[in-house]
Structure 1
Amino acid sequence: MHKTIQQKLVKIEERYHVKILYAVESGSRAWGFPSKDSDYDVRFIYVHRPEWYLSIDQQGIGTKRDVIEEPINDLLDISGWEITKALRLFRKNNPPLLEWLRSDIVYYQKYAFVDNMRALESDVFYPSSMLYHYLNMAKKNYREYLQGAEVKIKKYFYVLRPLLACKWIEKYNTTPPISFHELLEDIVPEGTLKTEIDNLLKRKMIGDELDLEPRVNVINEFVEHEMARLEEYAKSLKVEVKDPTKMLDELFRGTLQEVWG
């Protein structure tokens, strides 16, 4: 599949007259808990030729879109962000983008862009914004998926992963890792809770993820307690971040020069 994805990326470059800078896996495979029928969620960052940027119509006007989205099928979901869109989201400390930078499954990387971007991460890190993103995700998924007497196994991980990411931010004041296993090992101590999570994880990965069954009370109690506590913690955070726009402008211009000459 790796080769198939790389071939599709080459075709995207040819069809849209762009250069792909970075392409990674971003879904459950990157998080470390794919099931046997998980699809591939490929995300990439790309750059147009200089003349695309030097025109009176900015992106978003007419046909100048800032995303490339390929048709989704049962096996492959592939889409990408244009470089300036990616850098604006990077400036906002966008968690999905920062997760891309941490993916262990890299399909393509060329030029210095991503390494230079990673070097600037400390200049854009904003713990309040990131913590609220993950906390709101956990709360929303908890309301939608884990309120009934019976729940689907896989839905626990759509709540646990963002919740553990919040606790990582609280503990280390850094961007959390993408791997659920790393979060689990660091954040959850040995005991009943971790044992129950490990059991669910094993079952999900062998294909039990769609089964409805009684909810696991020890996990629900942990989630409810931590969501309430982290809500209060988030309110206490006060962090000022300097505007990194000038540095990101320089990164964009330098990438244009490196890629296109």
Structure 2
Amino acid sequence: MLDYRVIIQEELRKIEAQEGVRILYACESGSRAWGFPSKDSDYDVRFIYIRPVDWYLSIKERRDVIERPISDLLDINGWDLKKALNLFRKSNPPLLEWLYSPILYEEKYSITEQIRAISPLTFSPKSCMYHYLNMAKGNFREYLQSEQVKIKKYFYVLRPVLTCEWIERYNEMPPMEFEVLVDTLIPAEAELRTVIQDLLSRKKAGDELDYEPQIHPINAYLEEKIGYFEKTATEMKAAEGVFDEQLDALFRAALTEVWKE
């Protein structure tokens, strides 16, 4: 049997050699990290990298992402640290999810732990809630309006709706794991929780979860919550923010740590 972690590590080493970079951090970002992969789900590997000092001293605008062709097994791409820090200061939800992924492939240097330490200062409840709310609205409108729906798409609406609820309740970045969101936010005795857990059990067992009749308790919950968050998102707080000088210092420290040899 293939050891996917070995394959991922080998691909990360190839990227370092081919691109002349050092990978600071690598994690899983997709349905595997959320806790509801399909039988044939690939590995959504995301990484943050840094280039040598001279690369950043050029007057040229250069590409700040590295992408590799998607295969049956791997979907792998990464962001330059400078790009990541600029997105971090804007409370970018995908980046924040990477930093708190439950599936870690690599974390060789101290920079990502330093970023996590100041993430409460950059976390913006308002912008993150809008990000997840728009995701939920788009998927709900596209996939779950007919009498016959592709029921695996429920997870792609439920998760962002639950993250909105987490943000409203706790004023912090939600956990990535779907089951943690369900267990924390939906009462154990609720019919909705039973229905969701049954659906999750089917997905984990490898059921195709293709077109089936609408699951009315879930649809009713989603419609109610989307409408509610459309009204309340505007009242959420923005980020406190960090000084650019603080992020500049983190960037310079990372360059020194990685390339001191």
Same fold (TM over 0.5): yes
Aligned to 1:247: 246
CA distance in 1, matches of 2:225, 2:250: 39
**1:26 is the counterpart of 2:24:** no
Report what 2:222 is aligned to: 223
1:149-207, CA deviations, whole angstroms, 9 ceiling, x for partnerless residues? 11112100000000000000000000000000100000111221001101111111222
- Tell me how far apart the structure 1 counterparts of residues 105 and 237 of structure 2 sit (CA, whole Å): 38
Shift of 1:238: 4.0
| Aligned-residue offset at 1:243 | 4.3
Residues 95-149 of structure 1: CA deviation (Å, up to 9, x unaligned): 1111111111111111111100101101101100000000110000000110111
SS in 1 for 2:205: helix
Q: Which residue number corresponds to residue 195 of structure 2?
A: 196
Q: Is the 8 A contact 1:153 1:208 kept in 2?
A: no
Contact 2:125/2:239, CA 8 A, preserved across alignment: no
Q: Which amino acid aligns with 2:226?
A: M
- Partners of 2:95 and 2:144 in 1: how far apart? 27
Instruction: Determine whether 1:55 maps to 2:58.
Output: yes
Range moving further from structure 2, 169-178 or 233-242: 233-242
- 3-state SS in 2 of match to 1:73: coil
1:233 deviates by 1.2
TM-score by length of 1: 0.96
After TM superposition, what 4+ stretches of structure 1 lie above 6 angstroms from structure 2? none
CA contact (8 A) 2:127 2:238 kept: no
**What's the counterpart of residue 35 of structure 1?**
38
Q: What does 1:7-156 correspond to in 2, within 5 Å?
A: 7-58=10-61, 64-156=62-154
Aligned-pair identity in percent equals 56
Q: Is the 8 A contact 1:145 1:151 kept in 2?
A: yes
Q: Counterparts of 1:111 and 1:238 in 2: how far apart (Å)?
A: 32
The one-letter code sitting in structure 2 at the alignment partner of 1:236 is E
Q: Is the 8 A contact 2:29 2:45 kept in 1?
A: yes
Structure 1 residue 210 displacement after superposition: 4.1
Residues 240, 116 of structure 1: alpha-carbon distance in 2 compared, 3 angstrom cutoff? closer
* Aligned residue identity for 1:257: T
Deviation at 1:208, TM superposition (A): 2.3
- The aligned counterpart of 1:61 is none
Cα distance in 2 for residues equivalent to 1:114 and 1:86: 10
- 1:176 — aligned with what? 174
Task: Give the whole-Å Cα distance in 1 for the aligned partners of 2:225 and 2:178.
Answer: 17
- How many equivalent pairs are there? 256
Quote how far apart the aligned CAs of 1:45 are. Answer: 0.2
1:158 maps onto 2:165 in alignment: no
- Would the aligned equivalents of 2:91 and 2:239 in 1 still touch at CA under 8 Å? no
1:239 shift after superposition: 3.6
